Structure 1
Amino acid sequence: MKKKEFIYSTSSNAFQIEGARNLHGRTDSIWDWFTKTYYKIPPINSTEREINSIEVSSDFYHKYKSDVQIMKDLGLNAFVYNMDWTRIFPKDENYINPMGIQFYDNLYKELSENGIKPIPILFHWDTPLWLEIKGGWSSKKVLVAFRNYCKTVFKYLGKYSDIWFVNDENKSFTLDGYLGDAFPPCKKDPNEFVKAIHNLNVSAAIAKEEFEKAKIEGYISKDSILGIDDDWSPPIIWNNGNDEIVNKNLMDNYNAWMRDFWIDPNILGEYPKVFWDYLKDSKLDPNIIDGELEYLKKYKLDFIGWNFYRPYFITSKKNNFDLKLLHKEPVENDFGDFSIVLPKEHKNYTKWLWPIVPEYLEVGLKAYKDKYDLPIMIIENGFGDFDDKSKDMILDYERINYLKPILKSIKECKNKDLNLIGYSMWTYCDIFSPSAGYRKDYGLVSVDFNSPIKNRKPKLSYCWYKNVIKSDCKNIDYEKDVLEKELSELLARWDIKWV
């Protein structure tokens, strides 16, 4: 990637926004199966998990042209999009669905013609169901299928972008889907977990090999880069005593497991020591075959994406303290020496009890810089809330007030030697959230999910982010009356075609 202007983007994900799940040759994925099987609608205003239908979602599949015009009006120069593997390969690893390719070609062409760079992510948790039946990410069969997927996407869509990602949040996908059962494929099996992790890492090396071949064949520009998107939450030591060595060891163990383990294999070409210790201690077999470790070293990725929402408060698993000090029981994994906690003494949380500590964005960027020294882009950062949509104007001040210090930090960090190339907000419009269904609003643009045409409507945060982008992060503060007037005027001229 050539040195260009700073990237201002929003991000979204096919199974959360696209809809049209069984149109034009597409078949089910594991998320279609999961939402149909575990469908659940809790009471209104509850933060209990909602698992709802994704058959239509925000209907981006049919509304992408008007959505692109809304993005253009917002001032975006990029759009990060997690693609749908199943739309392109709906039957097996060989049959290419022409209408699936056509949709993404149409979308990326529309974005490009409106000055918005598509930034595709190849995989985000949504394994084709036909492939899951064959073993999914726990099976080596996934690697053959993924290679064909990469070849196809690079051949037909590679011309549209010089920035690509292989996958998004392997941590959440595998911890909740392979060690746990909160996400599909609901394995809850440590052996399945380590096999899936290793195959995901090999798949990224496969993508890099095919990426380089696509450059030679002229499908992708020579200066294009391919990265991995990580969701590390920087640690904050809580209630663990004052021994500096003990606390440093705790933090090092946390970072080894919650950051290094997930990206070292694809950035440095090797697993951290904790992985090998875990395999030995737990007697697990990741099914590493001859040549795969060398393959990881040969095909390392070019840069890092980072999904920053919050830090984690951590303490030692051995630490004894009063549970009344916490909002919930500590979270402990099958590995590591740490517990993740939600202390009541920290007063700033979202409604879903995500700690709000914006200064840890810069802390995290410095940590990535110190260890990896590669280009980095914020791929997800946003604020989930219950937006009040009952009035003409959606005044989402809580979202703006969460984002303000984040963008101030972006303004400072992009002028420092931290390798930051861009910022992408989660998300463009309201979507299906894996953790909360349609009740957790993330969008700058509202979607009326009760409307048959999924009406779009800008929120106050839309106007605010538009000003931030237009000023290149200089106008981050706002005057309430002025901003509300801007939204009122925007609504008055909102194009009927954008609804």
Structure 2
Amino acid sequence: MKYQFPEAFWWGSASSALQTEGESQPDARGETTWDRWYQQQPTRFHQQVGPQDTSTFYQHWREDIALLKQLNHNSFRTSISWSRLIPDGTGEVNPQAVAFYNNVIDELLAQGIKPFITLFHFDMPLVMQQQGGWESRAVVEAFSRYARLCFELFGDRVLHWFTFNEPIVPVEGGYLYDFHYPNVVDFKRAATAAYHTVLAHAQAVRAFRAGQYPGEIGIVLNLTPSYPRSQHPADVKAAHHADLLFNRSFLDPVLRGEYPADLVALLQSYDQLPACQPGDAELIADGKIDLLGINYYQPRRVKCRDSAVNLQSPFMPEWLFDNYEMPGRKMNPYRGWEIYEPGIYDILTNLRVNYDNPRCFISENGMGVENEQRFNQNGQINDQYRIEFVTGHLKWLHKGISEGSQCLGYHMWTFIDNWSWCNAYKNRYGFVQLDLATQQRTVKKSGEWFARTAVDNGFNEEGDNND
């Protein structure tokens, strides 16, 4: 059977500024929260490899874009670094950064690759964090100005903008679960940061519309379907609560222009609502998007709690549910994540049935594997497991499209092995292998497979394009 995708389907990959660019000298970009955290706690990073050790895109952008072309990308998502463009977050624009991003955008276009540009991918300028980060409305205003500057500088050529990548992650990591700076554990502060992120998103959308720029604006959300252990009402309610907190807290504002009433009621019942101001509701209503990016890696499986909450502990989402390990689940053991391909179909179906079938695309999906050198055959990584991972997800994506979902493309995380937050280079995700010592790039077997799939606009049953 041939899995054929719609005409003009977006085949590509995703990356981010902080994970790829490097070049963090003071004249090149301002300090971010990641730079500061690494200075303070280097042992929190795998093998103490920090954000200065990236895949050097700042130097090798032309070579890397040539590789994108070789892999038959027609689209590529990366981000602009706020701290590179405006080193202190609010002051002068850095002309070197403008020249760099102009070069990247122009070269992508020259190679027939659509640039998809994200404004914020976890890299908060340190100066902005010191003023309160997303807890501060002043930082929301500063982000709005930064967004406007990006539209003015690059909006004539960039036709696909995204305000945020996975905005729930800095909230979870920075204010709940201690895996991002500033390492706070406080739900109310988390709720405030999340709420202000939605306001910042809506401000950027408003500015984009006011400027009447060509193209479209959206957001990239990591959607993790919440599956209850059973159909017992207590398990179903637990899954609903997880869905409200981790998916719908961003999905509803950006698609419906308002928060779910039951999420508001839930937070109110625990006295965890953020402070609202006049005009906020109208602003959020103005933040409805043109295009939704969907990052999908794993499902969330939950059950009702079977033990009492310690009322002396800080209020956490886990007061409302427990995580559940489904027997027999398929795992990526290196990342500790379940591999569940139908989840991608369930996301698309939910959007089609419950959210008026928005225009969307898969903006990330990927498989990180440790010590990939084991699979080196004649100088090339034979990552058949990655090919199987992608084909498994694409089959369910194809089913969603065949039933009417408006999914316009598939971007893999990521193009080239890159630095990954606290995991550094522990797990490799790329279609292209990166030799850290020499910075040499070598296309993996999956990269060759993807190049054939993109040019054929599909693949056949075995995931083998050679038949």
Match of 1:458 in 2: 443
Moved >6 Å (runs of 4+): none
DSSP-derived class of the 2:208 partner: helix
Match of 2:421 in 1: 434
Paired residues of 1:430 and 1:445 also in contact (CA < 8 A): yes
Residue-by-residue CA offset, 1:11-56 (whole Å, 9 max, x unaligned):
00111111111254411101111223221388xxxxxx55521113
Q: CA deviation at 1:69?
A: 0.4
* 1:280 partnered with 2:271: no
Counterpart code for 1:438: Y
Counterpart code for 1:26: R
Q: CA deviation at 1:277?
A: 2.8
Match of 1:380 in 2: 364
Work out the CA distance in 1 between the residues paired with 2:161 and 2:289. Answer: 10
Q: CA deviation at 1:91?
A: 2.0
Work out the CA distance in 2 between the residues paired with 1:253 and 1:431. Answer: 34
DSSP-derived class of the 2:52 partner: coil
Residue-by-residue CA offset, 1:142-186 (whole Å, 9 max, x unaligned):
122111101110001112222111101111110111123211121
Work out the CA distance in 1 between the residues paired with 2:139 and 2:384. Answer: 44
Match of 2:173 in 1: 176
Paired residues of 2:234 and 2:304 also in contact (CA < 8 A): no
Match of 2:195 in 1: 198
> How many residues were matched structurally?
452
Compared CA separation, residues 159 and 126, structure 1 to 2 (3 A): same
Compared CA separation, residues 387 and 406, structure 1 to 2 (3 A): farther
Q: CA deviation at 1:378?
A: 0.5
* 1:266 partnered with 2:249: no
DSSP-derived class of the 2:163 partner: strand
Residue-by-residue CA offset, 1:49-73 (whole Å, 9 max, x unaligned):
5552111310011101000000001
Paired residues of 1:18 and 1:56 also in contact (CA < 8 A): no
Paired residues of 1:83 and 1:121 also in contact (CA < 8 A): yes
* 1:229 partnered with 2:226: no
* 1:127 partnered with 2:118: no
Aligned residue runs from structure 1 range 134-153, under 5 A: 134-153=131-150
DSSP-derived class of the 2:61 partner: helix
Q: CA deviation at 1:89?
A: 0.8
Work out the CA distance in 1 between the residues paired with 2:252 and 2:398. Answer: 28
Work out the CA distance in 2 between the residues paired with 1:211 and 1:287. Answer: 26
DSSP-derived class of the 1:306 partner: strand
* 1:316 partnered with 2:304: yes
Paired residues of 2:226 and 2:240 also in contact (CA < 8 A): no
Structure 1 stretches lacking a partner, 5+ long = 43-48, 321-331, 484-499
Match of 2:18 in 1: 15
Percent identity of the aligned residues? 25
Compared CA separation, residues 50 and 270, structure 1 to 2 (3 A): farther
Structure 2 stretches lacking a partner, 5+ long = 1-5, 309-314
Q: CA deviation at 1:76?
A: 0.4
Work out the CA distance in 1 between the residues paired with 2:255 and 2:48. Answer: 34
Match of 2:115 in 1: 118
Match of 1:294 in 2: 282
Paired residues of 1:117 and 1:160 also in contact (CA < 8 A): no
Compared CA separation, residues 50 and 406, structure 1 to 2 (3 A): farther
Match of 1:56 in 2: 53
Aligned residue runs from structure 1 range 278-427, under 5 A: 278-284=266-272, 286-318=274-306, 333-334=316-317, 337-372=320-355, 373-389=357-373, 391=376, 392-427=379-414
Alpha-carbon RMSD across the aligned residues, in angstroms, is 2.3
Work out the CA distance in 2 between the residues paired with 1:247 and 1:41. Answer: 35
DSSP-derived class of the 1:389 partner: helix
Q: CA deviation at 1:124?
A: 1.3
* 1:255 partnered with 2:238: no
Residue-by-residue CA offset, 1:365-417 (whole Å, 9 max, x unaligned):
10111121211110100000024336412111221121121122233333431
DSSP-derived class of the 2:294 partner: strand
Work out the CA distance in 1 between the residues paired with 2:33 and 2:461. Answer: 40
Q: CA deviation at 1:262?
A: 1.8
